[in-house]
Amino acid sequence: MFFVKNKIKKILSKIKLVTKKQEKCSFSAFTIIELLTAIAVFTLVVTAVLGIYTVTIQKHFQAQKIQTVDEELRYVIEVIARDIKDGYLVGVEGTGSNYKYPTIYIANKNKLTDEDYNNCLINPLSNKDKCVKYKIDTSNKYILVKYGSKDSSEVRLTSPKITILSNSWFLVAAKPTSSLVPVADSPLITIQIAAQASNDQEGASKIELRTTVNQTEVVNYYQGSL
């Protein structure tokens, strides 16, 4: 009988020991609710950080596209304006709508041979291929340039990084026609070029630049001929 009592006491003591260990473990461990709450908070924080990072990256790339378009358009307008100032605008070409033309011809001694310069200046109607030519090609979405007989064909002035838009033109006071018209009495020429990044499908990088060039000297070979 005594032996049985001792056995029962030992068993009860073991049960109490196990119970105490379980109680200690329950105090030190996380509950399922606490774990789910922590996971939810962590997920929200990570989602917010990723969202901010994504927006920042998008803004950065968008700013880069705008900068690329702006820098290239400013360069193109500066080149064309300088050629007009250093030379003479002798003709325009293309179907002019409200005196807005896609193509202009310039006699610029700095960019042409002496022979080309003289032929372009004196008779641009017959020698337009001897002139400096700038063409806004809105079909292919770039701007072309040709420096008289120095170039065998027109070459691209704008890079493939930008796309020239349709609302780009040269505003010159000349009679609308589909063939070249000599221009001598128009001291002011307005250049407008609109473009956006070629990889910009939404048009967020669209920029439109305009400048008016005042020719330093205007030749008068064709006064009264229009």
Structure confidence at residue 222 (pLDDT) = 35
- Mean pLDDT score across all residues of the chain: 80
Answer whether 168's CB lies under 8 Å from 77's CB.
Answer: no
What value, to the nearest 5°, has the Cα angle with vertex 49 and ends 46 and 51?
105
pLDDT of 11: 55
Print the SS3 string covering 135-199: EEECCCCEEEEEEHHHCCCCEECCCCCEEECCCCEEECCCCCECCCEECCCCCEEEEEEEEEECC
pLDDT of residue 81 exceeding 70: yes
- Of 157-166, 182-191, 195-204, the range with the lowest mean pLDDT is 182-191
Convert the pLDDT of each residue in 15-64 to its tens digit: 555 555 555 444 456 688 878 888 888 888 888 888 888 888 888 888 88
pLDDT at residue 30, rounded to an integer: 67
Task: Enumerate helices (H) and strands (E) in the chain, giving the number of each.
Answer: 3, 11
pLDDT at 27: 47
- pLDDT-derived band of residue 13, with 50, 70 and 90 as boundaries? low
The rounded distance, in Å, linking the Cα atoms of 50 and 164 is 35
Query: Which amino acid, 34?
Result: E
Three-state secondary-structure class, residue 90: strand
Bridge partners, 188 (sequence order):
214
pLDDT of residue 174: 60
The answer to whether residue 127 scores a pLDDT higher than 60 is yes
- Higher pLDDT, residue 38 or 11: 38
Q: Give me the mean pLDDT over the 69-88 stretch.
A: 91
pTM of the predicted model, to two decimals? 0.71
User: pLDDT tens digits, residue range 187-225?
Assistant: 678 899 999 999 888 888 999 999 988 875 544 433 333
Count of beta carbons in the 10 Å neighbourhood of residue 211: 14
DSSP type of residue 129: G
Q: What is the separation of C-alpha 29 from the centre of its chain, rounded to a whole number of angstroms?
A: 57
Q: CA 189, CA 212: separation in Å to the nearest integer?
A: 6
Residue 181 has pLDDT above 70, yes or no: no
pLDDT at 51: 85
pLDDT of residue 171: 86
Task: Tell me how far apart the alpha carbons of residues 86 and 198 are, in angstroms, rounded to a whole number.
Answer: 32
Q: How far apart are CA 2 and CA 173, in angstroms?
A: 127
